[in-house]
């Protein structure tokens, strides 16, 4: 039985360890000084993404060092990629859908917003695609006991087409209000709302590029990719996506935020709402309402 060259495994393990540390830091920053009662839906999605990314990178590090000559570890590698990677993508899509709701709907709740419900409906095909990926997975050992994993062409092509479609659709939904002269983003008092839209637009484009590159790799190798390289590319994908989401939800400056709050005359009661009690938009299309709502999605 031949040994796998050390370099790819060492690089993959180092990347996994760095990703684990980075996810731990981001998780700590997002939850520092925050109680469970103060975690709203948007922040909950971000924290869930950190947890899923941390789990993926941790398990990937273990599997990278054990799947040579081990068919069980080799098979687990592809199923971990399918389950946790798919979970991270669903969370990112839910996050982007939530941001679309924030920048496009002011006077309605989520359940009463047709666009929000339609976007959620667009996620349902992912369950079918996940089943298709499970049925068309590849996990084999070659004559040198080296593990190769991936997806057969049918599953990988369907996955990449779906990823491109939904990412492009969500990207358009951010471009439209930014360019429209009649959208809720327009006006001198809507700077914070425009900032949310611009940052999330950039995040959506980055997510599209990362996922497309990752799945194109599967297509290139025709479903038989070295497990170390596959786990490495997926680790980089989920880590960079998590970092992008963290940037999207981070404020530029604590001082600027304080100044903005003072200029808008937000009361202590409104500030308490920002810290956790505001989970749904109220039917009140005023500038103060919009500012308070957006503040709940732009976190330190």
> Helix crossing, 191-220 with 71-104: angle to 10°?
150
Residue 27 in domain: yes
pLDDT for residue 6: 60
Residue 300 in domain: no
**Burial status of residue 77 (CB atoms within 10 A of its CB: 0-12, 13-18, 19 or more):** buried
Compute and round to an integer the Cα radius of gyration of the chain: 21
CATH code at position 190: 1.20.1070
pLDDT for residue 153: 82
Q: How many domains does the chain have?
A: 1
Residue 1 in domain: no
Q: What percent of the chain has pLDDT over 90?
A: 9
Residue 33 in domain: yes
Residue 238 in domain: yes
What is the per-residue burial (b if ≥16 Cβ within 10 Å, else e) of 209-241?
ebbeebbebbeebebebbbbbbbbbbbbbbbbb
> Helix crossing, 114-121 with 71-104: angle to 10°?
170
Residue 276 in domain: yes
Residue 255 in domain: yes
C-beta separation of 237 from 18 below 8 A = no
pLDDT for residue 41: 84
Q: Domain containing 162: what range? A: 12-295
* pTM, 2 dp: 0.75
Residue 4 in domain: no
Weakly modelled stretches of the chain, pLDDT under 70 = 1-6, 105-107, 177-194, 196, 251-300
Closest CA to 136 of 157, 162, 109, 114: 157
pLDDT for residue 28: 87
pLDDT for residue 191: 57
Q: What is the largest CA-CA distance in the chain?
A: 72
pLDDT for residue 121: 93
């Amino acid at each position: 039985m031949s040994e796998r060259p050390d370099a790819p495994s060492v690089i993959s393990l180092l990347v996994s360890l760095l990703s684990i540390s980075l996810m731990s830091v981001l998780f700590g920053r997002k939850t520092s000084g925050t109680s469970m009662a103060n975690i709203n839906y948007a922040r909950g999605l971000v924290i869930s993404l950190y947890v899923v990314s941390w789990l993926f990178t941790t398990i990937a590090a273990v599997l990278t060092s054990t799947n040579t000559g081990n068919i069980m570890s080799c098979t687990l590698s592809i199923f971990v990629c399918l389950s946790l990677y798919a979970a991270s993508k669903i969370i990112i899509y839910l996050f982007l859908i939530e941001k679309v709701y924030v920048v496009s709907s002011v006077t309605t709740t989520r359940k009463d917003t047709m666009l929000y419900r339609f976007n959620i409906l667009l996620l349902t095909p992912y369950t079918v695609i996940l089943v298709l990926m499970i049925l068309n997975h590849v996990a084999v050992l070659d004559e040198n006991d080296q593990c190769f994993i991936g997806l057969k062409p049918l599953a990988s092509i369907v996955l990449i087409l779906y990823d491109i479609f939904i990412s492009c659709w969500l990207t358009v939904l951010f471009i439209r209000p930014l360019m429209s002269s009649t959208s809720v983003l327009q006006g001198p008092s809507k700077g914070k709302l425009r900032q949310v839209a611009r940052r999330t637009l950039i995040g959506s484009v980055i997510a599209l590029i990362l996922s497309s590159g990752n799945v194109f790799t599967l297509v290139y190798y025709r479903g038989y990719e070295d497990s170390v390289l596959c786990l490495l590319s997926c680790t980089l994908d989920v880590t960079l996506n998590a970092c992008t989401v963290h940037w999207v939800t981070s404020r530029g400056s604590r001082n600027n935020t304080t100044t903005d709050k003072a200029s808008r005359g937000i009361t202590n009661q409104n500030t308490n709402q920002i810290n956790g009690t505001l989970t749904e938009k109220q039917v009140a299309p005023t500038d103060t309402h919009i500012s308070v709502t957006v503040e709940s999605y732009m976190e330190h």
